Copies of this chain bind each other. A is one copy, B any other.
C-alpha cells in the first residue's frame, strides 16, 4: 500500500467521524470508540400502595458507564510470518497478542474489557493443532480478564488472519481520552521501550504483563489528564496526545527507559509495546508516582514536537521522520 492510500483512508475515516447519533460520544480518533449506553425506562413499582398523584418526585437517572469498542487485526505476511519451527508458541502467542492489543486500547481509556468477537481466516496449511493453540492463547487472556467470547466469523483465507473486536466499559468519571493534556503537564510512561522492534515478525519473544490494573489505577486516581497506549511507538503516541489536545510536547530522550540493546530509533518509533503514555499536572506527579511505577519522559508545551537530549540540546521532531521510518 502506498502511503497516500493510508492518508486517503484517514481522510475518508475522519469524514465519517462526523457522527450523527446522539449516543456516539467519541467516534474515530481515540484508542476506542466511546458510546453512551441507551437510556432506560422506569418500571412502575408503585404496586398501587401509594396514589400516583402523591408522588411528587420524578427520579432522573443516567447511565453510570460508557461503553468502549475497539478492533485489532493481525495478518500473516503483514504482522508476522509463520516459520516451521516453533509453530506452537507462535500460534499461542498470536492469540495472546491480538487480544492484548485490544485490551490495551480499552485500558488506555481507563476501562475494563467485557465481551469479544473473534474472526479467523485459515489457510489450508494450518493444522488443527495450530488452531487449538491459537484459541488456547486467546482463551488464556480472556479468562484472566473476565472476557466472554460471544461471536465471530470463520473464513477461508490464503493467509492466516486473526481479528478481534473487543467491548468494554468505563465509569463516566474514570474515562481518559487523548485530548485532555494541558501545557505544563508532565508526560509519564510505564515500562521499557524498543524491545518489540526486534521481534515484530516472529512473536516468539512476546512477553506479557497485564496493563489493566495499572491503567485502572491511573484512571481511578483522577490525577491524569490524558492517556494512550504506546502500540504505535512512543513518539507517535505523544504526537497523538498533542494532536488531540491541540498542543505540543518535549520528549526527554535520555530519560526514556530503554530495553537492553535497543537503538534510540527503535525506542522512539518501534512501537508494538503495550505500555501506557499519560499526562499529569506537575503538582500531582509525586502523588501519581506513589500509586504507579512510571517514568517522566517529557512535558507538554504549547506547540511543536521536540527531542531534548541529556545535554539539553533541543531538536525538532518532524512527522516525516517517523512516517518514513
Contact = CB atoms under 8 A, between A and B. Distances in A.
Interface string A52-76: 0001111111111100011111010
Contacts of A169: 38
Contact of A139 (B16, B61, B124, B154): B16
A156 B1 contact: yes
A118 to B, nearest CB: 8
A115 B69 contact: yes
Given A38-B64, A159-B159, A117 B149 contact: no
Contact of A121 (B35, B63, B75): B75
A20 B119 CA distance: 20
B24 A155 contact: no
Give the copy number.
Answer: 2
Nearest to A30: B151
A40 B63 contact: yes
B157 A117 contact: no
Interface residues of chain A: helix, strand, loop or mixed (majority): mixed
Interface string A280-305: 00000000000000000000000000
Contact of A151 (B21, B27, B63, B158): B27
Contacts of A1: 122-124, 126, 156
Contact of A12 (B61, B131, B155): B131
> Of residues A35, A71, A77, which shows the largest number of chain B Cβ atoms within 10 Å of its Cβ?
A71
Interface in A4-53: 4-6, 8-9, 12-13, 16-17, 19-21, 23-24, 26-28, 32-33, 35, 37-38, 40-43, 45-46, 50
A133 B35 CA distance: 28
Interface residues of A, number: 84
> Of residues A4, A19, A45, A73, which shows the largest number of chain B Cβ atoms within 10 Å of its Cβ?
A73
Given A5-B126, A70-B151, 12 more contacts: A4-B128, A5-B131, A8-B131, A13-B149, A21-B148, A28-B150, A32-B151, A35-B150, A46-B57, A73-B121, A75-B156, A78-B157
16 contacts: A1-B124, A2-B124, A5-B126, A5-B131, A12-B132, A12-B135, A21-B115, A23-B114, A24-B150, A35-B167, A38-B169, A46-B57, A50-B56, A73-B163, A75-B155, A78-B121
